Amino acid sequence: MVVIEEHKHPQHNIKSQKFDNPDKLYLPVSQHTGKPASVCMEKGAEVEEGQLIARQNGYISACIHAPKGSKVTDITPWYHPNFGRMESLVLKCTKESKSYKTRSNVGGLYPEELLDIIQKKGIVGMGGAAFPTHVKLKPPKNIDTLIINGCECEPYLSADYRLMKENLKEICKGVELICRIVKPKKVIFALEDNKSDVAKKINLFSSIKKFNIPGLETTVLKSTYPQGGEKQLIFSTTRRKISGDKLPLDVGCIVQNVATCFAVYEAVYLDKPLIERMVSFCGDALEEPKNIWVRIGTTLQELFEKKILSFAGEPKKIISGGPMMGVTLDCLNYPVLKGTGGFLFLNRDAKNYEEQPCIKCGRCVDVCPMNLMPLMYAKMVKHEEFGRLNEFYIKDCIECGCCAYICPSRIPLVHYVKTGKKYAVADK
Amino acid sequence: MPLQISSSPHLKAKADTPFVMLQVVVALIPATAASIYFFRQRAVFLIAVCISVSLLTEHIIYRIRRKPSTLGDWSAVVTGLLLALTLPPATKWYAAILGTLFAILVGKHLFGGLGTNIFNPALIGRAFLMAAYPKMMTTFTEPFSVDTVTSATPLSLQKFSASLTPLKELFIGNVAGSLGETSALCIIAGGLYLLIRKIADWRIPLSLLGSVIIVSLIAQFLNQANASVLFHLLSGGLLLGTFFMATDPVTTPISQKGRYIFGAGCGVLIMVIRYFSGLPEGVMYSILFFNSLTPLINRYTPRHPFGR
Ligand code: SF4
Ligand code: SF4
């Protein structure tokens, strides 16, 4: 674990904005972990806001909906931060935004019906991995603890914090619904100590029993990175350890990100699919870093064209995600996806580092939250000794980046890990 | 708009290798100043010779190996300075040059350069001089009286003529000894700086000094005539070795467990040499010996993966 300068100021104190009239939207069929969705619209079709445009395909997969009333103008490969190019639906927006009415019979819904809604509305984990939520909420094992992740440990990003500041009640209603599905004995709301104002509010809710959440408590953790990683978070809050080959449900836990809870609330109460999310736009290459509600599929290009964002000088590096785990982009054509928490635009803070020889200082080993030996991966990959990678549990690596952050020799350890993982898999 | 493409993470800690090495040089300033205060022009001369030969050798090697020069990483300065500080004040100029050459060529580059050497280069240089010029390397002079009166170090006095140097003099450094090893005060100041800035890991100094304390306590308990714990801590090359050589990242174990083993083992071996061998001091040999054991220690002390 490492302590990193937060860079969250000032955007985390500024109220979020909304941008809901894009001209064009680009929706890749894979915005989630698992199989890509299968397109169920023809080119030229007219669709309403919230209408299904790509169907869940297989068990671990998720539906995709039209974020605006629009016309499907094309189905073509388009920019995707993780896959380079990916088949995408191109929508030309034609209609005004829809308004949503509250569903009246929420209290009467059975857990199965709630799960069904979550599945049909295409909800996925919004903390980054984008794992389909309906799968996560149907664990094959007994769950006693539900952990709500409000840590947002990546520097710069503050979308989750803004969401908790502005929509805490809705988040709690979402948590209520999740509790009805998984029936935990205990719910832990985990926050970092830079968000203790939120913790106070939740404690207040909990003391007056405002929500029907069993055993609700807050845990305020130290602001270290990667405090919000599933395994680290479960250990910090419950002292249960999960090895690299196990899942949270193996120790009776489920972790849900706050934005996902909010999406569950919207899906159930408003009948609204996951078509919009709060995204952090930050970094020193932006005139004014801020958090914006945007429709899924909106491209960066459009946000700049419409003057929602503006550059302060030429950006040197654009990153989808946070600075520790995000991926660099080569242009502005990339769209916001369901799992996108933020974009980072770096100018002065984008530096090129030259790799130096490893001085065996062990700093990477000291900081690795999975207790691994990252320097070994770099050495083995360089010497092509792929067979030994598994001996050092390379697959346990969560690619958090702590090791490469701290390495005084600037060795791109995560890069070596990623390469190593490919060969280690091929080896087995 | 040309954009950089790179692997995550996109933030890096400020401390890089040159910074780390520079901090070691900074931490050596008090000890260097003390050596110049006590041994005057001899200290200035030897330090200048060692550092410049070290830099020059390194530069030429990088030229020959056609690798980008890493002179800017300060590691050659650290090696040169450390070697100089372990030399007796009366060391001849040719010996200083040969020792430095040996340290850089054999100690560092024969093993592949920065990061791949097994032994601490400065200590290799010193070990070479010990073998080549045993007389010169064990002839010490009193502070302020260079080139004239030879004198025994506190450790030899204690060992061979059972006379104890006052602790205060040991602490300040006003005793015969190697250039930068005499002033405990200045070395500790620099050492603490390294630990506080987290440049060096505290585990090795703690376990090393801890085991020295324990062994000397036991020795004193068994035989009242043995020198005190404080005497052992403050004399010889122990402190300089502990803070600046046993903490060298390259030649010491990677994991925290391994570092405890390294430190404790070194401490015990130093005391064994001081008590049972024909030599007054054993810091250099102990550290070198454990340098050679480091790969083995690394193999048996891997970090245990989380949750497994
Ligand atoms: S932090 Fe970097 S230099 Fe230090 S041991 Fe790890 S890889 Fe080597
Ligand atoms: S080895 Fe993997 S888990 Fe460990 S610090 Fe590096 S990226 Fe994180």
Q: How confident is the model at residue B81 (pLDDT cuts 50, 70, 90)?
A: very high
B235 contacts B154 by C-beta, under 8 angstroms: yes
Assigned token pair, B104: 């850089």
Looking at chain B, the whole-number percentage of residues with pLDDT higher than 70 is: 97
For B181-209, write each residue's pLDDT tens digit. 989 999 999 999 999 999 999 999 999 99
If DSSP codes are grouped into helix, strand and coil, which group holds residue B151? strand
**Chain centre distance of CA B192:** 15
What's the pLDDT at A52?
A: 95
B17-300 sits in which CATH class? mainly alpha
**Looking at beta carbons, which residues of chain B come within 8 Å of A326?**
8, 10
**Looking at beta carbons, which residues of chain A come within 8 Å of B254?**
360, 362, 365, 373, 375
What's the pLDDT at B141?
A: 83
pTM: 0.91
Q: Per mean pLDDT, which range of A57-61, A292-296, B86-90, B160-164 is the poorest?
A: B160-164
Q: Domain-by-domain residue ranges, chain B?
A: 17-300
B303 touches chain A (CB under 8 A): yes
CB atoms within 10 A of CB A300: 22
Atom of ligand 1 nearest to the CA of A406: 1
What residue of B is the nearest CA neighbor of A323?
A: B10
What's the pLDDT at A27?
A: 96
Looking at chain A, the whole-number percentage of residues with pLDDT higher than 90 is: 82
What's the pLDDT at A76?
A: 95
| Averaged pLDDT, B74-88 | 94
Q: Is the pLDDT of residue B146 over 60?
A: no
Q: Are strands A84-93 and A52-55 parallel, antiparallel or unpaired?
A: unpaired
Q: Which domains does chain A have, with CATH numbers?
A: 106-269 (3.40.50.11540), 363-427 (no CATH)
Q: Per mean pLDDT, which range of A246-250, A276-280, B65-69 is the poorest?
A: B65-69
Tell me the CA distances in angstroms from B291 to A270, B132, B203, B236, B284, one per residue in order. 67, 22, 16, 20, 10
Q: How confident is the model at residue B63 (pLDDT cuts 50, 70, 90)?
A: confident
Which residue, by CA, sits nearest to atom 6 of ligand 2?
Answer: A403
Q: Is the pLDDT of residue A190 over 90?
A: yes
| Beta-carbon separation of A362 and B255 below 8 A | yes
Q: How confident is the model at residue A354 (pLDDT cuts 50, 70, 90)?
A: confident
Q: Is the pLDDT of residue A347 over 80?
A: yes
What's the pLDDT at A426?
A: 59
Q: Is the pLDDT of residue B57 over 90?
A: yes
**Ligand nearest B12 Cα, by number?**
1
What's the pLDDT at B149?
A: 64
